[in-house]
Structure formats: C-alpha cells, structure tokens
C-alpha cells in the first residue's frame, strides 16, 4: 500500500523536516521518501490545500461507558470516533464497571481494539474496586501493560495511601495519578465559587479545594520521590504550585482538559447542563493562567476528557444533571483555534511519555502513524460533527478552526 502526501506541512519537533512543506511517500507504514516534489504513483494520494501532517495523537482522558454503561457509548463506536478525530491511541479511564483493577479486565479492554486503527491503553485503578482504601495489585497490572494508576475523578483521601503508592511504584517505574480535589472543601458544590455562583444561587467550589490537595500531594512526592501525575488541573493556584514544584526538580506532570482552556464560568449563566463538567468551569483569570501554562510548557499535555452521558441525565434541572462532555471530535479544532497547529500537536502527543508509548518521527525509513489535518478552515461545531452515540458536547454551536482529514 502506497500513500502519497503532496505539499504537506510537517509538524513534528523531533523531525529534521519540522515546519517544512514536503511531499511524503509512505509504503507499508514506512516513510520511503521525503522530497520537495515526488511524481510517483500511489494507491492513495492526499493533495488538499493547507494539508498538514504530524505524528498521530494520543488522548489520555477517555471514557466510552462500556463496560457497564453501554447506553452512553460502545467501545467499537468510540474507537471509530477516536480514529476519525486523529487519535491513534487512547487511554481509557479506570472507572468502568467492572473497574480496571485486575489483569483480566485490563487485557479484555485492550483486546477490544485488536481490529481498530486506534489502540487502547487502559489506565489501571490505584485501589481495589476504586474503594480508596486498599492498593490494587499494581505490579501485576504493570506486568499486564498498565503504566498509570488512578481512581479517575475520585481523589486519594488518605495521604498515607499516596505515600505508599509513590514508594511502591518506584520499584518498577509506574506513575501514580492523583485527582486534585479536597472533598470536604468542595462540599458537593455544583459550580466554581465566584460572583457567578452567587448570581446563579448555586453552591460554589473554591479554588482551594484543588490547590490544597495539590499542595499536599507535592509535599508527599518531595518526601517519597516517585512519579506523580496531576490530571485535569483547572485553577491558577493549582498550576502555579506545579510550576514551582517542577522548578524544584520534582518528578511531577500535569494535564488540562481542553474545555478548561476554552470556556470560563460565564458560560454557565443559562444553566445549560452541557457546560456542567468536573472540575467545574473556572474564572477568566484561571483560564488565562492555564493558557499561559500551556505556552510555557508547564502543562505536559491536554486531554479531551471525553465523557459520554445519555440524554436523560443531561436534560434535567442543572443541579441534578450529570457531569461530563464528549470532546474527541472537537479536540483539535478547539486547540487549534486557541494555540495554532504547532503547539496544539505538541499538547496532543505529550501524554505518550507517561504511558511509555513510542512516538512516530517523520523522517525516512521510519515506521509511522500519522494524522492529516487542515488548520485554516473555520466552522461552527454542530451535532452533524458528532459521531459519538451521546451528543453532550460543551462545544456545540462554537466556532472552531481546522479539521482532521484522516489518521493513517
């Protein structure tokens, strides 16, 4: 199978052709030629205007519902959505039913992607049954292929448990992910604590609920060593703590959901449950700080935080509505509108490091997985752009920029 890319702009920091416009010939998944112009025949030719190419993307924050909540999304359709959205690899969150706390569950999830162009790399549970009390069989899960251990949106309440997890995983190179939430401070709040929460008459979650937990986790990391990841950081205070910890040399990484870079809590004023995500949308100053952190490489990668929710759990009173938004289909276009193609790609492949996944390099004789996309076309994101079974997108009716053409 020969694939020819004509006049494609290469976005790949690791490639000697980064930011250059080249013709690329791919034969049986290997790049055979990269030249200013190629006239060879091929089985498939891409000759679109504004064609861009990068190493295929990775999303470390995906839920498909299945197993346990198949009415929200199936793995089979979810993988098709991921492939259409430019992702060759995804990490499924651990909070399925059954949750990913055993080798059998992990392997069964991974095997469901055997015939898909997008591969699954399950995030394993940190604790048995997500109970927050007993560590799961972390080494067995590591031997089965898990690299990151997390209880998803459930914070690690017991600081000694985090200490033990960081100490234990050092022996085999695992990464512990700790969701940044102090539940007693959050106190079942619905939205961010701000003038908007007062105007809406809803209980607000202060930034302290995030920063207090991050401060605790970083103190434990400094004591134990190890590899700590803090997902879905949403506040200026939280990101500043992580920035300072990195300067001190702590082995900490962090990620941000794309919607926390795009929206602030003004979007909630119409009580539209599509904007109800967790952590909640924060203030304009938080959004500004997060965008700055992306540009300064404090944020290691972004995730779509793709969480399908069935219609009956969204079309209810805002207080009763479920948290979550789908995000795979809009991920690149939203990032590209905010940051442009080069930084967007960097953020969309950055998660490979903590999941120990090889990244393709666009150069001759390399075996590659590539995403093809455009960057200049603007469009309004509607339900017609959604291939997911659930339609609960926070980006509905937003003007986005750039489109995915294919993932090869």
Active site residue 305: yes
- Torsion sign over Cα 350, 356, 357, 362: positive
**Per-position b or e across 348-370, b if 16+ CB within 10 A of its CB:** bbbbbebbebebbbbeeeeebbb
Chain centroid to Cα 107, Å, comes to 21
**Per-position b or e across 313-324, b if 16+ CB within 10 A of its CB:** bbeeebeebbbb
**Per-position b or e across 202-237, b if 16+ CB within 10 A of its CB:** bebbbbbbbbbbbbbbbebbeebebbbbbbbbbbbb
The two tokens of residue 68 are 């346990």
Chain centroid to Cα 238, Å, comes to 18
The two tokens of residue 8 are 């494609």
Active-site residue identified among 272, 305, 317, 384: 305
Burial of 151 from C-beta contacts in 10 A (0-12 / 13-18 / 19+): buried
* Angle between the N-to-C axes of helices 159-169 and 208-224, in degrees from 0 to 180, rounded to the nearest 10: 40
Q: What angle do CA 181, 344, 17 make, to 5 degrees?
A: 140
Nearest to 333 by CA among 294, 372, 379, 368: 379
Alpha-carbon span 247 to 124, nearest angstrom: 29
Catalytic residue numbers? 305
């Amino acid at each position: 199978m020969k694939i020819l890319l004509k006049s494609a702009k290469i976005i790949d920091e690791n490639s000697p052709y980064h930011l250059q416009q080249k013709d690329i010939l791919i034969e049986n998944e290997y790049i055979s030629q990269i030249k200013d112009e190629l006239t060879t025949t091929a089985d498939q030719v891409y000759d679109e205007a504004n064609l861009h190419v990068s190493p295929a993307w990775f999303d470390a924050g995906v839920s498909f519902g299945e197993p346990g909540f198949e009415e929200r999304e199936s793995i089979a359709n979810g993988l098709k959505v991921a492939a259409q959205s430019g992702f060759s690899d995804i990490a499924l969150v651990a909070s399925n039913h059954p949750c990913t706390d055993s080798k059998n569950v992990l392997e069964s999830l991974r095997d469901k992607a055997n015939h898909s162009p997008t591969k699954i790399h399950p995030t394993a549970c940190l604790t048995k049954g997500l109970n927050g009390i007993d560590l799961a069989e972390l080494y067995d899960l590591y031997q089965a292929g898990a690299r990151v251990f997390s209880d998803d949106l459930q914070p690690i309440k017991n600081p000694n448990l985090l200490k033990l997890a960081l100490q234990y995983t050092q022996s085999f190179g695992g990464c512990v992910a700790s969701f940044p939430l102090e539940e007693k401070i959050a106190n079942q709040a619905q939205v961010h604590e701000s003038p908007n929460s007062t105007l809406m008459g809803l209980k607000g979650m202060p930034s302290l609920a995030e920063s207090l937990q991050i401060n605790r986790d970083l103190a434990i990391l400094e004591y134990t060593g190890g590899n700590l990841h803090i997902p879905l950081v949403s506040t200026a205070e939280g990101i500043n703590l992580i920035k300072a910890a990195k300067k001190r040399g702590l082995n900490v990484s962090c990620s941000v959901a794309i919607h926390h870079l795009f929206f602030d809590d003004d979007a909630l004023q119409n009580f539209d449950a599509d904007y109800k995500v967790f952590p909640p949308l924060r203030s304009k100053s938080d959004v500004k700080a997060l965008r700055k952190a992306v540009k300064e490489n404090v944020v290691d990668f972004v995730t779509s935080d793709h969480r399908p929710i069935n219609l009956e759990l969204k079309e209810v009173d805002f207080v009763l509505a479920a948290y979550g938004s789908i995000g795979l289909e809009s991920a690149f276009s939203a990032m590209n509108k905010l940051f442009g193609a080069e930084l967007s790609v960097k953020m969309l492949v950055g998660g490979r490091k903590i999941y120990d996944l090889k990244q393709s390099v666009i150069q001759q004789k390399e075996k590659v997985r590539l995403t093809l996309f455009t960057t200049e076309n603007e469009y309004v994101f509607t339900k017609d752009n959604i291939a997911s079974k659930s339609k609960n997108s926070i980006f509905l009716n937003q003007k986005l920029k750039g489109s995915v053409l294919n993932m090869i």
